[in-house]
Amino acid sequence: MEGRKSYEVGLAAGVANAYPHLRHLVFSGTLTQSPDPDVEIVADDPVATARKLKEDGSGKDIWLVGGAELAGALYSEIDRLIVKLSPLTIGTGIPLFGRSAAFSPESWNLTDHTVLPSGATFLTFDRRPR
């Protein structure tokens, strides 16, 4: 699952489908046609779509790639966070969850971490049971 703005970053770089090995859904209210036949443009409610995907019985994980707006809309549906920390600062950036995320404090358990020689660090958090 990807938001339109994140998807357009790839398009600008000439990549119409960065995830050919996955079912690739791009959520957009403005895009009407996909430049790649394997990329699905979805105008439906992201929460309803995520719930339907979870219930379809495939047992596969749903990956949300980029998109603070989409992550904010899906906040209640996220079970695991994989956060990449980079040893580069730029001063300002995009929040993890956009303004559409409801104020709903959640607790997370650190379940894994990987530190690369470059200093890039991947932190995996699972949502604590409510």
Q: CA-to-CA distance for 77 and 20, rounded, in angstroms?
A: 24
Supply the range of the domain harboring residue 42: 2-127
Burial 87-104 (b: 16+ CB within 10 A, else e): eeeeeeeeeebbeebeee
What is the per-residue pLDDT for 93?
77
Q: Could you read off the pLDDT of 68-109 as tens digits, one per residue? A: 899 999 998 999 999 999 998 888 877 889 887 888 899 999
The pTM (predicted TM-score) of the whole model is 0.83
CATH number of the domain at 57, please.
3.40.430.10
What is the per-residue pLDDT for 123?
97
Of 103, 99, 68, nearest to 83 (Cα)?
68
What is the per-residue pLDDT for 92?
81
> Looking at the 3D structure of the chain, how many domains does it have?
1
Neighbours of 71 (CB within 10 A): 25
Q: Could you read off the pLDDT of 14-60 as tens digits, one per residue? A: 999 999 999 999 999 999 899 999 999 999 999 999 999 988 866 57
